[in-house]
Structure 1
Amino acid sequence: MAPSMSVVVFGAGVIGLTTAVELLRQHPTASITVVAKHLPGDQSSNDYCSSWAGANWISYDDKLGAQTDYEYVAFQRFLTIAANFARQSGVKRFPLRLVYDEDDIKKHGTEQIQQKWYEDLVGGVTEVPKEELPAWASFGLDLTTFMINPSIYLAWLQSHLLEAGVMFLRRSYKHIDQVFEDFSNAFAIFNCTGLGARTLGGIEDKRVYPIKGQTLLLSEPKIPLSRMYMHKINNDEFTHIFPRPLGGGIIVGGIRLHHDYNDQPDMDLAKRIKRRACELCPELGNPNELTVIRHNVGFRPSRKGGARIEKEQRHGKWLIHNYGAGGTGYQASWGMAQHAVDLLPKDVANRANL
């Protein structure tokens, strides 16, 4: 019997793990190895942002394109996961309330705000009655999407891969050619290194840059919250409240600071986050009485011009890039993975299985 196709996934964040699962789905006989410096369970704000994510599904794009295509595919996959593996995966179908203030209405208008490309996908978007909104709010929309507990979800993806025979190796590389040298029999290597693509030798993609995020992990309340909340303050700050499934506490945030490398939490910002969260969701109680378990700082692996999903030949092998998701790593993960795996030349895959 001829050996199966050998493929390496370099990187074990949500994009790398999802890519490995998609590889397994499309090529069930392939020999897959995931190699990475950080694996599920690790917490490194600089190198491994997947564990710090909110995380949920909500599209920020108004125009259809590659990004919305990725998000559409991911939503459909999360539907299946939530329906069949909610207790194992930490993925839960959950209501979300989007809240807009007067500045939003002046800038965009209620008609434009209501026009969501994903309205049919999520099962409808409805206007929130005025009496249910905070006093400062001018408009609100309710929809149902997904809430994800990253610590459970990442471990679940890894467990699925391990059960299928995928090998995991903890290794650190400074140059992409070192990966090719260590895995000389691989037909293809998938580069899912996130922020690491900026400094990885042989790649050094200067379009990649960090978007700093800061959140607070709050103690699980006695009475569970009934929905998620989001409200954009300005280009840098916003309020989100994400109750994590399976007793994972509540994540509140947050910020989007481009090109900010400071990994220390801003305690003044933390106070603003608590105050705004309680204004948006009175069920949380008094800001001064919130039990903060942890202050989180993470760096979204963004890329100017959008995610890079493309292939190139290197040393007679295929190198397929899949990185640069920014703050959409979870909500676009399955679509990005599908696109990346579809780039694997079919003739290579077929020859490997002859």
Structure 2
Amino acid sequence: MTGDQRGDVVVVGGGVIGLTTAVVLAERGGRVRLWTRDPVERTTSAVAGALWWPYRIEPADAVRGWALRSLDVYEELAERPAVTGVRMVEGVVGETDLDETRGWTAGRVPGLRASAPHEYAGQGVWARLPLVDMRAHLPWLRERLTAAGGRVEERTVTAGFPEADAAVVVNCTGLAARDLVPDPRVRPVRGQAVVVENPGIRTWLASTAPDGTKAYFFPHPDRLVLGGTADDDVWDTEPDPAEAEAIVRRCAALRPEIAGARVLEHRVGLRPARDAVRLERETLRDGRVLVHNYGHGGAGVTVAWGCAEEAAGLASA
């Protein structure tokens, strides 16, 4: 490592966690390079439905703080939705208790109330939450990073990150951390979604049936994202036509107009699940600092800014 590299930070991973972490580090004065295997538009984050809500992520106490800090940021970004891709949208989280939700959100979620029978047939919570259009948000994060002096490079790494020629390396590799750390506690949870033309739906809904199957729809101005699945330890990234039909059918049972919507796209993503998010610092044998920030399951968007700020603090400790 040369002298002019010792002040550098290499963030490995170009999804929402890596991009957000790189932005925070660069805006705090770091000389940041973001290494990503794929263009940010082709990362797992690009597939996300991207509603702000903790989903399949632990530990709960830490997640609460990370999520609420991220909510603060998203509310600000929602003032410029056409630029940032973030909008505040109303909808229902089904099979959710109002008092429990009020407890963990500490009064921070706007418009929180029990859903009415005409809004949802079961028990649910009505809320106004950030809904993120990842087609716009990921490129916006990349532009914000470069505006702060950071660089984005399409690079690959091997186990232990020996290629990362910087004093500080931040591991935001998601599911790839299973091999790169290596960490066998990271595992895939397969999610499939169907994108259709939006037939005029303006609110979102996330529901879980008694048999455990899930249905959600997230409205964007020109399309509707329908889901979904949560298949543990499944690595297949090819869309399943039968599952796609089932997703549309479940969503249409909630909003009949979805049944006739034209299908635009099929998506599959592998959520990087772990029994708990790994957000910690270690010193490698060669003296480099390695900060881990991975294992966010289905809630990367939800906790991105809170985790990024904590990771940046660890990087400079």
Matched position secondary structure for 1:130: coil
Question: Which residue, out of 203, 212, 233, partners 1:227?
Answer: 203
Deviations 1:208-267 (A, max 9, x none): 00000000011233x3x22111101257531111012xx351100001111011222222
Question: Which residue, out of 223, 228, 231, partners 1:249?
Answer: 223
Per the alignment, residue 195 of structure 2 pairs with: 217
Alignment length, in residue pairs?
A: 312
- Opposite residue 41 of structure 2, the aligned amino acid is G
1:164 Cα deviation from its structure 2 partner: 2.1
Mapping 1:98-117, distance limit 5 Å: 98-100=93-95, 115-117=102-104
Aligned-pair identity in percent equals 29
Contact kept, 8 Å, 1:94 with 1:228, in 2: the verdict is yes
Q: 1:206 to 1:117 in 2, by over 3 A?
A: same
- Opposite residue 310 of structure 1, the aligned amino acid is E
Deviations 1:82-122 (A, max 9, x none): 12x3211110011021234xxx8xxxxx6766655226111
Mapping 1:1-354, distance limit 5 Å: 5-25=7-27, 27-28=28-29, 30-42=30-42, 48-60=43-55, 65-83=61-79, 85-100=80-95, 115-118=102-105, 120-133=107-120, 137-180=121-164, 183=165, 186-200=166-180, 203-221=181-199, 223=200, 225-233=201-209, 237-244=213-220, 247-282=221-256, 284-285=257-258, 287=259, 289-303=260-274, 305-314=275-284, 315-346=286-317
Deviations 1:150-194 (A, max 9, x none): 1110000001111222111111122334323xx1xx220101111
- Opposite residue 204 of structure 2, the aligned amino acid is M
Matched residues in 1 for 2:212 and 2:291: separation?
Answer: 32
- Opposite residue 258 of structure 1, the aligned amino acid is D
CA RMSD of aligned residues (A): 2.3
Per the alignment, residue 349 of structure 1 pairs with: none
Matched residues in 2 for 1:216 and 1:236: separation?
Answer: 19
Q: 1:219 to 1:142 in 2, by over 3 A?
A: same
Matched residues in 2 for 1:177 and 1:138: separation?
Answer: 48
Matched position secondary structure for 1:56: coil
Matched residues in 2 for 1:306 and 1:248: separation?
Answer: 36
Matched residues in 2 for 1:277 and 1:15: separation?
Answer: 29
- Opposite residue 274 of structure 1, the aligned amino acid is V
Per the alignment, residue 352 of structure 1 pairs with: none
1:5 Cα deviation from its structure 2 partner: 2.7
Q: 1:111 to 1:66 in 2, by over 3 A?
A: closer
Matched residues in 1 for 2:58 and 2:91: separation?
Answer: 18
Contact kept, 8 Å, 2:98 with 2:114, in 1: the verdict is no
Which one has the largest radius of gyration?
A: 1
Contact kept, 8 Å, 2:15 with 2:44, in 1: the verdict is yes
Matched position secondary structure for 1:173: coil
Contact kept, 8 Å, 1:62 with 1:117, in 2: the verdict is no
Contact kept, 8 Å, 1:33 with 1:167, in 2: the verdict is yes
Contact kept, 8 Å, 2:58 with 2:277, in 1: the verdict is no
Contact kept, 8 Å, 1:62 with 1:116, in 2: the verdict is no
Deviations 1:43-84 (A, max 9, x none): xxxxx311110011023589950111111111111011112x
Matched residues in 2 for 1:337 and 1:144: separation?
Answer: 24
- Normalised by the length of structure 2, the TM-score is 0.91
1:39 Cα deviation from its structure 2 partner: 2.1
Contact kept, 8 Å, 2:237 with 2:268, in 1: the verdict is yes
- Normalised by the length of structure 1, the TM-score is 0.82
Deviations 1:121-143 (A, max 9, x none): 1124212322443xxx2323211
1:34 Cα deviation from its structure 2 partner: 0.7
1:274 Cα deviation from its structure 2 partner: 1.0
Matched residues in 2 for 1:187 and 1:131: separation?
Answer: 57
